[in-house]
Chains A and B, each alone.
Chain A
Amino acid sequence: MSDVGPRYSPRAELTEAAARARLFLSSYAALFGILAIRFDGLALRLVCLGLCLIGLADTFRITHSARSRREPYVITIDESEDTGGEVSGYLASYLLPFVTVSAPGWRDLLAYSLFLVVGLVIYVRSNLVRVNPTLYLFGYRVLRVRYNTSKKQYLLIRIAPEIGQMLSVVDVAGVMLDAGGDDADC
């Protein structure tokens, strides 16, 4: 087999999956907050509150770190459309806290955990990574964009771009994040 050019790497897949798993926790941060309110036991409340705070903090850290540490690249927007419909579909899983009992037994907790594990596997193995309600709480919108004539990708951005607008973006777990700033020469 030729040694020329990049190759498929299972380790690279694992790294990518780890980045997506972080975003999974981030996407359910608000759900864990609701569960913390719904559950009765102190221990359960503290665990859910902890997961909520970790998810929120990680969302901030992932986006802030990507914007401040990663060198952006420039794209030109040809077309953009909102993906709100996809997010509202994902929000169906947010019904979980409202069908739970406030004082769950160990079998209830096991069932909820299994639900989350299945959700994690689907999230990491699919392109659901773009659907993250917590990012909306941070002021981002998720748009499906066509850029540089023929490329298509999902873009996290606070203000929807105009057609023909040049944007500086960075890659975050398979989606593009608006890095802000102008494109002045220097």
Chain B
Amino acid sequence: MRTAEQWTSRTLGRNAALVLGWRRGSRIVGGRLNLARDMNSALRQRARAALAQIGERTPRSYDAAAQLEDDEVFLLDVDQLPSHPKRREPGKRSGAEIESPPDEQEEASALIDLLAKPGSLDPLLADGVRGRIFLFYAVVFTGRDSSIAFLKRHNPGAVLKTDRLLGLLGQDVTRIEDPVLIFEPDFDLIIEGNELAALTPTALRRLFIDLDVAAAAVPAHVAELRRLRRLRFPESTLETIAKACAKRRLLAGRLQSLIQTEHLAKLTVEMVKAYVAGIDEDPRRYIRDGKLVVTEEDVGALIDVLDQRHYRGGYDKLLRRADRTSVIRQS
């Protein structure tokens, strides 16, 4: 994997391309906007600043629950992104079975393919883009051997969605009616080949965990829970989880994060019971007759339990919920 110094010393290809990305269903797709030559140097300057920032920050190893501080950077390979195991056996798929949504690894791979050759993307017409919602913009510099993409999770046309009136200051102030794009001074993510550098704390999560998509994927995630034979979810509990997540999109996002954790497949009801007892909670809140049973109000709490979100303060010993977690040491 590339070091921070190698990222910093990376040269940028001569040609710049601007890509806008959006979601079509659960897939990320993109198109290319033509750039005037005078945009090249301005965007190049921002891209170089982003590369320089990598060298100024502390590299962190990535895990799904990890969070970044402002002076840190994730340097990772696409293989390190969460991927849920494909448990479906060949030939066993029934017609009623729900298609699993792409996981972060699949989404990142699709994004890498999308940005690797911006010349392959269909050109977007300015008037077709005006006032529309986009997931991100990316500036891709292409050189002799490879391309490097600088991605910002921001809708560059968002300024026109706020009903602002834009005027051009001259002898007479005239209304700007053409589409306006706003480019942020920084980038969230840098992608080259199969490697990524994430510069903002939520770059990866916000890009790949779309709450609308997570909400739409609730049935698929519940189907994943059903396949966890060790945890023995009764159908009534699965229905309760599905109902609660369908009502609350943020809960759906948390369920999606839980599904992508590696430890979930190894959990047993006994392990959950021990965990709940360890935080001085009554296990009967979640476990009855050796099965996981919850009310709709307790679905969020159960997701926290399964996602091991609790910890005790080192000094005051108070029970807390970890909203942001990072694995510091693997052992």
Contact = CB atoms under 8 A, between A and B. Distances in A.
Interface stretch (B11-19, B198-206, B220-228): B11-19
Interface string A124-163: 0000000000000000000000011111000000000000
A99 B129 CA distance: 47
Contact of B12 (A16, A170, A186): A186
Interface string A1-44: 00111111101100110000000000000000000000000000
Contact of B15 (A12, A73, A148): A73
A71 B144 contact: no
Contact of A70 (B37, B118, B134): B37
B144 A183 contact: yes
A7 B157 CA distance: 14
Contacts of A74: 13, 15, 17, 119, 142, 147
A15, A69, A70, A74 — most chain B CB neighbours (10 Å): A74
Interface residues of A, number: 36
6 contacts: A4-B132, A71-B37, A74-B147, A171-B123, A181-B14, A183-B15
B267 interface: no
B39 to A, nearest CB: 6
Contacts of B40: 71
A3 B128 CA distance: 11
Contacts of B163: none
Interface residues of B, number: 40
Interface string A175-186: 000000111111
Contacts of B31: 6
B327 interface: no
B15 A71 contact: yes
Given A5-B132, A12-B125, A183-B143, 17 more contacts: A4-B22, A6-B125, A6-B128, A11-B127, A12-B126, A68-B37, A70-B37, A71-B17, A73-B142, A74-B13, A74-B15, A75-B117, A166-B144, A169-B119, A184-B144, A185-B143, A186-B12
A182 B15 CA distance: 10
Nearest to A11: B127
A126 B277 CA distance: 73
B36 A69 contact: yes
Main secondary structure of the interface of B (DSSP, over half): mixed
Contact of A5 (B11, B13, B134): B134
B110 interface: no
Contacts of B117: 75-76, 148
Contacts of A16: 125
B14 to A, nearest CB: 6
Contacts of B119: 73-75, 147-148, 151, 169
Interface in B97-150: 117-120, 123-134, 142-144, 147
B90 to A, nearest CB: 28
Nearest to B125: A12
B230 interface: no
A63 interface: no
B29 interface: yes
Nearest to A67: B37
B210 to A, nearest CB: 10
A168 to B, nearest CB: 6
B86 interface: no
A185 B35 CA distance: 18
A171 B34 contact: yes
A5 B142 CA distance: 24
A6 B123 CA distance: 11
A171 B118 CA distance: 13
B2 interface: no
Contacts of A75: 117, 119-120
A55 interface: no
B24 interface: yes
A170 B24 CA distance: 27
Given A6-B31, A181-B14, A184-B14, A69 B37 contact: yes
A147 B128 CA distance: 25
B153 interface: no
A8 B147 CA distance: 30
Contacts of B118: 73
B130 A182 contact: no
B144 A185 contact: yes
Given A7-B132, A12-B128, A186 B11 contact: yes
Contacts of B20: 6
B142 A71 contact: no
B161 to A, nearest CB: 8
A9 B126 CA distance: 9
